[in-house]
Amino acid sequence: MLCPFCKADNDKVVDSRSAAGGAMIRRRRECLQCSRRYTTYEQVEEAPLKVVKKDGRREPFDRRKILAGINKACEKRPISTGIQEELVDEIEKEIFGVFDREVTSKFIGELVMKHLRNLDQVAYVRFASVYREFKDVSEFLEELQPMLKRTRARKSPRKKSGKKA
């Protein structure tokens, strides 16, 4: 470490302690050349996760964008802000569990849709309609068909067998 006063490259660490909740180490150093003291901070170097867009552009990952999309999809639905935040936490955890440098926007969109499908069908359809960029009603209906089949299967009464015990 270069001394900020005399620019010598010869110092000793006088004191070390944790800072920023353990995410950083604060060190007091003393220059062995000019005997002046100064403070340095050491932290883990993180490479920010980049999102690869459809057109090939790369931009920094921003959880606020995911939250904004979910907020829009859940507008006027009985889904609290807390639940939406938890959903983004889960999505972010999955992303960082799989990727360390780059993730595609397609992966993020599919992940959001998976989570919304399990949370609220209307929010899911709203998000999917924007994410998938439906061109017409037939594309929209294609997306809805599997959901409609599952809903009908759950609502239809089960047939009893004609056997007597």
pLDDT in tens, 104-134: 999 999 999 999 989 998 998 889 888 777 7
pTM beyond 0.75: no
pLDDT at 131: 78
pLDDT at 79: 95
Residue 82 pLDDT greater than 60, yes or no: yes
Residue 2 pLDDT greater than 80, yes or no: yes
Interhelix angle 105-119/63-73, nearest 10 degrees: 40
pLDDT at 119: 94
Domain residue ranges in the chain: 11-43, 50-154
Q: Where are the alpha helices (DSSP H) in the chain?
A: 63-73, 81-98, 105-119, 121-131, 137-155
Categorize the per-residue pLDDT at 6 as very low, low, confident or very high, splitting at 50, 70 and 90: very high
